[in-house]
Amino acid sequence: MGLREVKRERTRRLIADKAFELFSDNGFGRTTVEQIAAAAEVGPSTLYRYFPTKEGLVLEFVDDCLADAVDWFHQQPAMDLPDGLRAVIERVLEQLERNPERIRAVFDLAEQTGSVSAHLNELIWRFRTDLADELVRRLPTDDPRRSEFVAALSAGIAMNIIETVVRVWVDTPDTVEAKALARRAMRLLSTGGVPLPGAPDA
Amino acid sequence: MGLREVKRERTRRLIADKAFELFSDNGFGRTTVEQIAAAAEVGPSTLYRYFPTKEGLVLEFVDDCLADAVDWFHQQPAMDLPDGLRAVIERVLEQLERNPERIRAVFDLAEQTGSVSAHLNELIWRFRTDLADELVRRLPTDDPRRSEFVAALSAGIAMNIIETVVRVWVDTPDTVEAKALARRAMRLLSTGGVPLPGAPDA
DNA sequence: TGGGAATTTGGTAGTGACTACCATATGGCT
DNA sequence: AGCCATATGGTAGTCACTACCAAATTCCCA
């Protein structure tokens, strides 16, 4: 790896770190990109070459975690769907748990700022569709409509567990661990502890 | 109701309709709020008094549908959770089905434009939390942590069904009806047609 | 090692969403 | 008619973000 890429990574990190610093000091809305650029000692146009939007500064880590999990799942060997879902869920949580303070900071910012929350939800939604695409490959192809439907619902369930667990986890003074919570959620679902909506005639 | 409120509603509708017209003609990104204001024959500052953001113009109807459903559910008599979830799901779909073309237009715009998609996801997420708040009231209070957890997961499942059904529905040349799809989804979930993630030791 | 090619950078100028504010106009009521 | 509350339009400004260009930096190979 050349000097170029090293420098690139360094400035990238520097910008993101300075951004988090300023956001937590002054709030997202009261921090301008010019201030961030100045703090990282780069020009604003350089900042925009690294991050597409102001919100992107905040969400890069989450994005990386989710992208990694999809990638990882993509190259996992075949396994049946329940195990697959569990594996993806745990993979995402492992990735997120690599950096608990950052995750907490991200969710704090999302709670305070509408546009961050919106972008975060957008990210989550993209993960859901990516995961659904991955799941559909592991389902029978005889009835594609049905398989797509099942994949979408399954991806939604996985995402639901992840999101719920993470939100509880970030609100909890860090004694709980995310994977244990996730297992509790899975158990609640599979034993009827969480009631599923009743179909009227089935 | 006085003349004032009538006029208010009329201009509100006028603005939103003109906005949709321009969006579908020229695209969301290539339409400015000034153009919309001009088309509706109001000043830009008036437009912003009616709608908080450009995206709000697009999403008002969805927002109303979801808010109505939460409201409606709030004043429903007690019922057990599976029935409650089914009822909310069907209520939302009924509301959305009142105006299929608009829903289709909204999802088309969301697909093309990131910021619209983000705001839509934000809306959906708010509905999810509102619904969870409502559900927790109907759960036992002896273990509040557990009840909140169950409520969050349940709301997520309901939202998941709604979202999946609507996305299939808007992509389908309108022969299918949404509630039938939703019932299919419920049946798939309650009969194991959709595999739940397997808890490792339960 | 020197020099041209490719890439990265900072700066400028501009667009457009959105806000704060004020003067004017309009409907509601006595 | 005339007063009060509210609705409106306009102005001026901030800030995120884009397109573009000229200068600096890194890379690579003769």
Domain membership flag for residue A201: no
Q: What is the pLDDT of residue B201?
A: 64
Q: Which domain holds residue A186?
A: 54-190
Q: How far is CA A113 from the centre of its chain?
A: 17
A70 and A37 in one domain?
no
Domain membership flag for residue A78: yes
Query: Residue B127 sits in a domain of what CATH number?
Result: 1.10.357.10
- The structural domain count of chain A equals 2
A83 and A6 in one domain?
no
| B2 pLDDT tier (thresholds 50, 70, 90) | confident
**Each residue's pLDDT expressed in tens, for chain A with a length of 202 residues:** 677 889 999 999 999 999 999 999 999 999 999 999 999 999 999 999 999 999 999 999 999 999 999 999 999 998 999 999 999 999 999 999 999 999 999 999 999 999 999 999 999 999 999 999 999 999 999 999 999 999 999 999 999 999 999 999 999 876 788 999 999 999 999 998 898 998 776 5
A181 and A151 in one domain?
yes
Query: What confidence tens digit (pLDDT) does each residue in B35-84 have?
Result: 999 999 999 999 999 999 999 999 999 999 999 999 999 999 989 999 99
Domain boundary among A13, A29, A51: A51
Domain membership flag for residue A198: no
Query: What confidence tens digit (pLDDT) does each residue in B128-158 have?
Result: 999 999 999 999 999 999 999 999 999 999 9
Domain boundary among A51, A74, A91: A51
Domain membership flag for residue B182: yes
- For residue B98, say whether its CB is under 7 Å from any atom of strand D: no
B75 and B30 in one domain?
no
Contact B118 A119 (CB under 8 A): yes
pLDDT higher than threshold 80 for residue B199: no
Domain membership flag for residue A196: no
B154 and B85 in one domain?
yes
Q: Which residues of A touch B149 (CB under 8 A)?
A: 164, 168, 184-185, 188
B67 and B32 in one domain?
no
Average pLDDT for B168-189: 90
CA distance A102 to A60: 11
Contact B153 A168 (CB under 8 A): no
Domain membership flag for residue A202: no
B58 and B138 in one domain?
yes
pLDDT higher than threshold 90 for residue B181: yes
Query: What confidence tens digit (pLDDT) does each residue in B86-112 have?
Result: 999 999 999 999 999 999 999 999 999
| B175 pLDDT tier (thresholds 50, 70, 90) | confident
Domain membership flag for residue B201: no
Q: What is the pLDDT of residue A177?
A: 87
Query: Residue A39 sits in a domain of what CATH number?
Result: 1.10.10.60
Domain membership flag for residue B195: no
Nearest-10 crossing angle of helices B144-171, A178-190: 70
B96 and B43 in one domain?
no
- A42 CA to C13 C1' in angstroms comes to 19
A66 and A37 in one domain?
no
Residue of B nearest to A181 (CA): B149
CA distance A148 to A163: 22
CA distance B122 to B135: 20
B163 and B136 in one domain?
yes
Task: DSSP letter for B40, please.
Answer: T
Cβ-Cβ contacts under 8 Å for B16 (sequence gap 6 or more): B51, B57, B60
Measured between CB atoms, does A197 come within 8 Å of chain B?
Answer: yes
Residue B137 three-state SS: coil
B178 and B122 in one domain?
yes
Q: Which residues of B touch A157 (CB under 8 A)?
A: 157, 160, 194, 196-197
Structure tokens at A59: 């969400």
Task: DSSP letter for A77, please.
Answer: P
B39 and B58 in one domain?
no
Q: Is the dihedral of CA B74, B76, B81, B85 positive or negative?
A: negative
User: CA-CA-CA-CA torsion for B119, B92, B149, B167, nearest 10 degrees?
Assistant: -60
**Which whole-number Å values give the CA distances from A21 to A14, A36, B110, in the listed order?**
11, 9, 33
